[in-house]
């Protein structure tokens, strides 16, 4: 009788062990949680990007309203109003000695920060830093006009303050508060960590980044040379 009772207890214990293994309760499965968290984070970024409309061409070509988007931003100041966040333009071209470099719809140079990360996209410029380097932000229902920049290289990331910041090649992009007129590149090389951003997210002027030999003549972005790349023209919703 005692032998039968012992056999029943052993069988029950074995069944419990099988159940725990099937439910993933063993130590061998503990490492899967971070991967799930990362997947959720990436999915969240994709969801944020899908809420923003993309349109090939410039804001002017699509008859954006005057004094909206990039045209509403005061030089050197963050985009703080809904009107200023209605749209952003990313145009590949030249500013000063930087060729190629991305400029916005007002002709102002856009920059990337070495202390940010591109994979995953994350901004580490907040508070006072974000005053000196205003992040390029867009409303959740806003538009990004892409002109010479591939749509596949453009995205958005949620900042610590909840705003959506535009990314190129995964890198969050910024303006510089001391660039006061189109074509200025005063932020280039500041602190050894700030550089104009190329159409693929690289550092403008860096080795292989496309800087013209000998520097070249400084030219304002109002006469910036723009160019298209194959495959950049996949459209999103029309501007409204």
pLDDT confidence bin for 29, thresholds 50/70/90: very low
Residue with tokens 């591109």: 118
Distance CA 103, CA 199 (A): 10
- Closest to 196 (Cα-Cα) out of 125, 123, 120, 91: 91
Residue 108 has pLDDT above 90, yes or no: yes
| pLDDT at residue 48, rounded to an integer | 58
Percent pLDDT > 90 in the chain is 63
On average, the pLDDT of the chain sits at 77
Q: What is the mean pLDDT of residues 61-71?
A: 97
Q: What would the pLDDT profile of 200-238 be if each residue is shown by its tens digit?
A: 999 999 754 433 333 333 333 333 333 333 333 333 333
Query: Looking at residue 85, what DSSP letter applies?
Result: T
Q: What would the pLDDT profile of 130-166 be if each residue is shown by its tens digit?
A: 999 999 999 999 999 999 999 999 999 999 999 999 9
Radius of gyration of the chain measured on its C-alpha atoms:
25
Residue 24 has pLDDT above 90, yes or no: no
Whether residue 100 is preceded by a cis peptide bond, meaning omega within 30 degrees of 0, is yes
Q: How far is CA 167 from CA 14, 24, 49, 151, in A?
A: 54, 38, 10, 11
| Residue 142 structure tokens | 């806003």
Residue 112 has pLDDT above 80, yes or no: yes
């Amino acid at each position: 009788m005692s032998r039968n009772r012992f056999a029943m207890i052993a069988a029950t214990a074995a069944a419990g062990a099988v159940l725990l293994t099937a439910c993933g309760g063993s130590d061998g499965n503990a490492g899967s949680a971070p991967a799930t968290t990362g997947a959720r984070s990436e999915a969240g970024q994709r969801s944020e990007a899908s809420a923003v409309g993309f349109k090939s061409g410039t804001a002017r070509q699509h008859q954006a309203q005057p004094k909206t988007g990039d045209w509403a931003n005061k030089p050197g100041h963050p985009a703080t109003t809904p009107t200023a966040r209605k749209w952003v333009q990313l145009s590949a071209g030249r500013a000063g000695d930087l060729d190629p470099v991305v400029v916005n719809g007002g002709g102002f140079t856009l920059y990337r920060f070495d202390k940010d990360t591109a994979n995953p996209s994350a901004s580490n410029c907040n508070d006072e830093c974000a005053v000196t380097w205003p992040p390029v932000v867009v409303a959740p229902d806003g538009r990004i006009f892409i002109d010479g920049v591939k749509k596949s290289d453009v995205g958005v990331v949620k900042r610590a303050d909840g705003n959506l910041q535009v990314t190129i090649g995964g890198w969050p992009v910024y303006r510089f508060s001391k660039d006061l007129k189109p074509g200025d590149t005063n932020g280039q090389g500041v602190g050894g960590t700030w550089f104009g951003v190329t159409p693929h997210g690289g550092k403008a002027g860096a080795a292989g980044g496309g800087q013209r030999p000998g520097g070249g003549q400084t030219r304002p972005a109002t006469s910036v040379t723009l160019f298209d790349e194959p495959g950049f023209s996949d459209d999103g919703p029309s501007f409204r």
